[in-house]
């Protein structure tokens, strides 16, 4: 019998409990949580079943964590019952991060959580062993006679009925659990919220308490620090606090860009337009709706319909599809006249508004919306041009990523089993991708068979604030497509005077502008670089006498195209400075008597450093230069 534990593998055929087995092969069992065999998780005290392989789970293992947190939920229920004997028990599962337990007839606020935590720590110190108790239905009914919610669950249980007891507390439960409560050394109850019994708004309103626990205080502290950090990086929170955008129920997944958010959004669009123009992409503007016929030719109607919206006049039968992608329109423009090989690569860019239907539950602020605009482009190339064109695209990507100081992670996805196009063409295209990345000196990994049926692709990821590749954002994409032009019968006249089908390369560098904005907001905690800041300079007159001079400076900055605000309210200077800090304004200009006399200004930057006696014209030209160059400050 093979025994896995972390990255190590042991051998033993001893027939005993998992715990004893672990001891026998010399593992330090104090960190062990549970064991896995035959795709089932067991208590450590269970006997090892007939199997060829078992795995021992500790907190490093996701399934181990789940058991750990489930046991913690029992301890929470125990604590609640001790302090609030009239509360009734609902359910208490582990979740992705921690656990919760639902209670009925329990009124607790955030302040009460501390006491419950203490009670749970007491239970941990008691180090009660978790015991599995098999029961008959009628015994169970007797035990649960005062717990109407548990009785409801019991009634729905089909097979074996078990309870788990630790100390005096007993709960209807399938398990498994840790050996004893002493393992759970660090506990944090995170919040209280409401929930309906069985998620049904017609049933009882329950009180849900969320918590998380760890085998050590250090791990808990690290986690709480991470939570704090995560909050600072929450783009939705930043968006609310900086008044950048909002979402309303009237149109789920369609952002409202408020004035300051629209500035950031438009700056990103302007950047994309500027670079695409430099790289000779020809911007086009295309319809948002098209007859269903188009989507049938493009294949979206067959393969993508569940993500598409149908559009019909309220009072007529005409039927259209709302575009989820721009590509079919670009092929139509390609086809609008006879094309020659001399025109290739022919590149169309498009910032058209796209809509994709997503379930409301899947929406995630700006990161996942129903409505968005991409810095989308399509290159029409001959088969021989693929490699050079990819290099061309990667060069633009490099320039743009440099502006944001983003380190890209490249993943090449190769031919899947189901595909169109001859192997020779796939060879060519895949090699083009590999060679291009090598020639631009980018490292990449390969995901075999993960390409689309119509061609191989490069997906580009950027790290989130954690720096962990596993939670990196998908940002850019470069996809070779042998199929699209073929479906539309789009052709060009080659050097040989014959018709050829162009290869289409789909490309987006920033992805969706809104999504990219969300990524940058998160990664910078809202401290956008100067050029991207909705307010670049804020002017704070110290008192009423300074207001006229402050206004003059305001006007001069505005004339120079600098986004400037004047806070001429009657708040105190301290308050004004604090507000500017909360608004993450890059430069705060304080105007007092001294400044007015010396005709200079004092500039406080985001770090709190202040430069005095700055010449206004120098500040303006310096700031303008930084903005124009999109400097990283």
Is 378 known to be catalytic? yes
Q: Which two tokens stand for residue 368?
A: 């996942």
By CB under 8 A, residue 628 contacts a second copy: no
Is 300 known to be catalytic? no
Of 147 and 343, nearer to a second copy (C-beta) is 343
By CB under 8 A, residue 258 contacts a second copy: yes
* DSSP H or E stretch at residue 56: strand 53-57
The contacts of residue 178 (CB under 8 Å, 6+ apart) are 33, 34, 44, 67, 68, 71, 130, 184
The least distance separating a second copy from the CB of residue 356, rounded to whole angstroms, comes to 10
By CB under 8 A, residue 343 contacts a second copy: no
Using CB under 8 A, which of 49, 287, 416, 548 touches a second copy?
287
Stretch that binds a second copy, among 65-73, 208-216, 301-309, 608-616 (CB under 8 A): 301-309
By CB under 8 A, residue 571 contacts a second copy: no
Q: Are 80 and 102 in contact (CB under 8 A)?
A: no
Stretch that binds a second copy, among 106-114, 288-296, 498-506, 589-597 (CB under 8 A): 288-296
By CB under 8 A, residue 548 contacts a second copy: no
Cα gap 332→353, rounded to integer Å: 18
Of 229 and 246, nearer to a second copy (C-beta) is 246
By CB under 8 A, residue 51 contacts a second copy: no
* DSSP H or E stretch at residue 168: none
Of 226 and 256, nearer to a second copy (C-beta) is 256
CA atoms within 13 A on the CB side of 358: 20
Is 70 known to be catalytic? no
Q: Are 292 and 320 in contact (CB under 8 A)?
A: yes
The one catalytic residue in 506, 515, 576, 604 is 506
Cα gap 37→35, rounded to integer Å: 7
By CB under 8 A, residue 582 contacts a second copy: no
Stretch that binds a second copy, among 68-76, 138-146, 290-298, 498-506 (CB under 8 A): 290-298
Of 21 and 349, nearer to a second copy (C-beta) is 349
Of 357 and 465, nearer to a second copy (C-beta) is 357
The contacts of residue 388 (CB under 8 Å, 6+ apart) are 436
Is 327 known to be catalytic? yes
By CB under 8 A, residue 474 contacts a second copy: no
- How, if at all, do strands 2-5 and 53-57 pair? parallel
Using CB under 8 A, which of 109, 259, 467, 608 touches a second copy?
259
The one catalytic residue in 327, 350, 370, 373 is 327
Is 376 known to be catalytic? yes
Is 28 known to be catalytic? no
Contact map string, positions 214 to 253, toward a second copy, x by CB under 8 A: --------------------------------x-xxxx--
Beta strands in 448-544 (DSSP E): 457-462, 473-481, 492-493, 499-500, 503-512, 537-541
Beta strands in 482-576 (DSSP E): 492-493, 499-500, 503-512, 537-541, 564-566
Contact map string, positions 302 to 341, toward a second copy, x by CB under 8 A: ---xx-xxxxxxxxx---xxx------x--xx--x-----
CA atoms within 13 A on the CB side of 512: 23
Of 156 and 315, nearer to a second copy (C-beta) is 315
The one catalytic residue in 457, 515, 563, 630 is 457
Q: Sheet harboring 492-493: ordered strands across?
A: 339-340, 492-493, 499-500
Cα gap 519→475, rounded to integer Å: 9
The least distance separating a second copy from the CB of residue 562, rounded to whole angstroms, comes to 12
Of 218 and 243, nearer to a second copy (C-beta) is 243
CA atoms within 13 A on the CB side of 347: 22
Using CB under 8 A, which of 282, 439, 495, 611 touches a second copy?
282
By CB under 8 A, residue 293 contacts a second copy: yes
Overall size of the chain counted in residues:
633
Closest CA to 168 of 85, 233, 235: 85
Of 223 and 301, nearer to a second copy (C-beta) is 301
The least distance separating a second copy from the CB of residue 355, rounded to whole angstroms, comes to 7
Stretch that binds a second copy, among 37-45, 53-61, 185-193, 257-265 (CB under 8 A): 257-265
By CB under 8 A, residue 585 contacts a second copy: no
The contacts of residue 454 (CB under 8 Å, 6+ apart) are 419, 420, 421, 481, 482, 483, 484
Closest CA to 214 of 190, 189, 185, 191: 185
The least distance separating a second copy from the CB of residue 330, rounded to whole angstroms, comes to 10
By CB under 8 A, residue 418 contacts a second copy: no
The least distance separating a second copy from the CB of residue 257, rounded to whole angstroms, comes to 4
Q: Which two tokens stand for residue 531?
A: 């050029």
Q: Which two tokens stand for residue 534?
A: 């909705």
Q: Please count the residues of this chain forming the interface with a second copy, following the rule CB under 8 A.
A: 52
Helix intervals (H) in 444-512: 484-487
Cα–Cα separations (whole angstroms), residue 251 to 236, 255, 361, 543: 17, 8, 14, 44
Site for a second copy in 356-385 (CB under 8 A): 357, 371
Closest CA to 394 of 410, 374, 378, 383: 410
Q: Which two tokens stand for residue 484?
A: 């699209």
3-state secondary structure of 498: coil
The one catalytic residue in 276, 376, 459, 567 is 376
The least distance separating a second copy from the CB of residue 393, rounded to whole angstroms, comes to 19
- How, if at all, do strands 161-166 and 339-340 pair? unpaired
Q: Sheet harboring 130-135: ordered strands across?
A: 130-135, 161-166, 169-172
The one catalytic residue in 188, 235, 374, 538 is 374
The one catalytic residue in 81, 260, 330, 378 is 378
Of 194 and 259, nearer to a second copy (C-beta) is 259
By CB under 8 A, residue 516 contacts a second copy: no
By CB under 8 A, residue 488 contacts a second copy: no
Cα–Cα separations (whole angstroms), residue 41 to 32, 64, 153, 550: 13, 9, 22, 69
Contact set with a second copy (CB under 8 A): 246, 248-251, 254-259, 261-263, 265-266, 273, 282-291, 293-294, 305-306, 308-316, 320-322, 329, 332-333, 336, 348, 353, 355, 357, 371
Q: Which residues are marked as active site?
A: 327, 356, 374, 376, 378, 457, 506
């Amino acid at each position: 019998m093979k025994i896995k534990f972390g990255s190590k593998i042991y051998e033993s055929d001893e027939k005993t409990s998992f715990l004893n087995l672990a001891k026998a092969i010399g593992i330090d069992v104090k960190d062990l949580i549970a064991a896995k065999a035959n795709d089932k998780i067991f208590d450590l005290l269970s006997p090892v079943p007939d199997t060829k392989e078992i795995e021992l789970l500790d907190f490093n293992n996701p399934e181990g964590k789940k058991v750990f947190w489930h046991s913690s939920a029992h301890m929470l229920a125990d604590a609640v019952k001790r302090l609030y004997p009239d509360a009734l028990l609902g359910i208490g599962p582990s979740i992705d991060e921690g656990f919760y337990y639902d209670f009925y007839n329990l009124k607790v606020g955030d302040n009460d959580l501390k006491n419950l935590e203490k009670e749970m720590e007491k239970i941990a110190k008691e180090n009660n062993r978790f015991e599995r108790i098999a029961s008959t239905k009628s015994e169970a009914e007797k035990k649960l006679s005062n717990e109407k919610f548990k009785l409801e669950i019991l009634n729905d249980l089909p097979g074996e009925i078990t309870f788990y007891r630790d100390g005096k507390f007993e709960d209807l439960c399938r398990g498994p659990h840790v050996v004893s409560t002493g393992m759970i050394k660090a506990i944090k109850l995170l919040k209280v919220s409401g929930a309906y019994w069985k998620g049904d708004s017609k049933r009882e309103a329950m009180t849900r308490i969320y918590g998380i626990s760890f085998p050590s205080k250090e791990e808990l502290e690290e986690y709480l620090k991470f939570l704090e950090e995560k909050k600072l990086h929450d783009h939705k929170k930043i968006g609310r606090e900086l008044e950048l955008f909002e979402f309303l129920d009237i149109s789920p997944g369609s952002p409202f860009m408020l004035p300051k958010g629209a500035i950031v959004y438009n700056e990103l669009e302007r950047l994309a337009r500027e670079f695409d123009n430099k790289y000779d992409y020809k911007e086009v503007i295309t319809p948002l709706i098209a007859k269903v016929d188009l989507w049938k030719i493009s294949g979206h109607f067959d393969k993508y319909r569940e993500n598409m919206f149908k559009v019909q006049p309220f009072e007529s039968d005409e039927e259209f599809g709302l575009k989820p992608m721009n590509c079919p329109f670009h092929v139509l423009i390609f086809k609008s006249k006879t094309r020659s090989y001399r025109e290739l690569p022919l590149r169309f860019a498009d910032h058209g508004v796209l809509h994709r239907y997503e379930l409301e539950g899947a929406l995630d602020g700006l990161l996942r919306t129903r409505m968005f605009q991409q810095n989308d482009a399509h290159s029409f190339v001959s088969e021989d041009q693929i490699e050079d064109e990819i290099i061309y695209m990667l060069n633009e990507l490099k320039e743009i990523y440099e502006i944001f100081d983003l380190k890209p992670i490249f993943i090449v996805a190769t031919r899947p089993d189901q595909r169109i196009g001859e192997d020779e063409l796939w060879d060519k295209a895949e090699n083009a991708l590999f060679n291009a990345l090598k020639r631009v000196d980018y490292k990449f990994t390969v995901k075999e068979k993960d390409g689309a049926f119509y061609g191989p692709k490069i997906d580009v990821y950027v790290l989130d604030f954690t720096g962990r590749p596993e939670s990196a954002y998908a940002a850019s994409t470069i996809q070779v497509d042998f199929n699209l032009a073929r479906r539309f019968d789009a052709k060009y006249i080659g050097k040989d005077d014959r018709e050829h089908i162009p290869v289409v390369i789909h490309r987006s560098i920033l992805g969706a502008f809104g999504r990219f904005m969300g990524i940058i907001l998160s990664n910078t905690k809202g401290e956008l670089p100067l050029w991207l800041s909705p307010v670049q300079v804020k002017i704070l007159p110290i008192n009423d006498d300074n207001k006229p001079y402050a206004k003059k400076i305001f006007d001069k900055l505005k004339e120079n195209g600098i986004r400037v605000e004047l806070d001429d309210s009657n708040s105190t200077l301290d308050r004004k400075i604090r507000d500017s800090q909360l608004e993450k304004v890059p430069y705060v200009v304080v105007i007092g008597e001294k400044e007015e006399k010396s005709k200079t200004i004092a500039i406080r930057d985001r770090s709190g450093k202040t430069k005095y006696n700055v010449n206004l014209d120098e500040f303006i030209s310096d700031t303008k230069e930084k903005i124009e160059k999109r400097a990283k400050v």
